[in-house]
Amino acid sequence: MAHHNLDSLDKKILKLIAEDARIPFLEVARSCNVSGAAIHQRIQKLNNMGVLKGSKFIIDPEKIGYETCAYMGLNLKNPEKFDAVVDELKKIPEVVECHYTTGDYDMFIKIYAVNNHHLLNIIHDRLQPLGLSRSETIISFNSAFSRQLPILDMPVDDVETDED
């Protein structure tokens, strides 16, 4: 994965919008002492670079009836079928994350289910047919916290050069 060189303005913009994605660009511009047009250009640049991956409202799964959150380590009978399994996992709306991992599992996924019975049905009816050799399910009782990576502690890539 490519690392992008971000200057201090980029980082200040990222810090502000990570704290409040709904902050008006003009407010960001005032905080950064630049024009609104400059902020629009920087946001577009950060989007084009893939540093920003859109903006969205975050729905609380529990508030819409998904009371069970589970993490599952998956081992595939045929690990060479990773791509096909990932394509099938994408078709299961309750699977919200999928990671290739090192260690005991080929993949690690996060699932939301209405309840434990619904989770069991997802595992039995949707996951097992994907060709799992084994799986391990960990149910989360509650999320202690969830956050963005801090922008505050990122090193600044601004470099001043003396040309003689």
Full pLDDT tens readout for the chain, 164 residues: 566 788 999 999 999 998 888 999 999 999 999 999 999 999 999 999 999 998 888 899 999 999 999 999 999 999 899 999 999 999 999 999 999 999 999 999 999 999 999 999 999 999 999 999 999 999 999 999 988 887 765 555 544 434 43
Taking the C-alpha atoms of residue 95 and residue 139, their distance in angstroms, rounded to an integer, is 14
Taking the C-alpha atoms of residue 42 and residue 28, their distance in angstroms, rounded to an integer, is 11
136: how many CB neighbours lie within 10 A of its CB? 12
What is the model's pLDDT at position 122? 98
Query: What residues contact residue 4 under an 8 Å CB cut-off, 6+ apart?
Result: 49, 50, 51
User: Contact 48/56 with Cβ under 8 angstroms?
Assistant: no
Query: What residues contact residue 29 under an 8 Å CB cut-off, 6+ apart?
Result: 35, 36, 38, 39
Q: Going along the chain, which residue ranges are E strands?
A: 68-76, 95-100, 107-113, 132-140
Question: What is the residue type of 41?
Answer: Q
Taking the C-alpha atoms of residue 16 and residue 12, their distance in angstroms, rounded to an integer, is 6
All structural domains of the chain, each given as residue ranges with its CATH number in brackets, are 8-49 (1.10.10.10), 61-140 (3.30.70.920)
What does the block give as tokens for 16?
A: 């502000």
Please tell me whether the overall predicted TM-score, pTM, comes out greater than 0.85 for this model: no
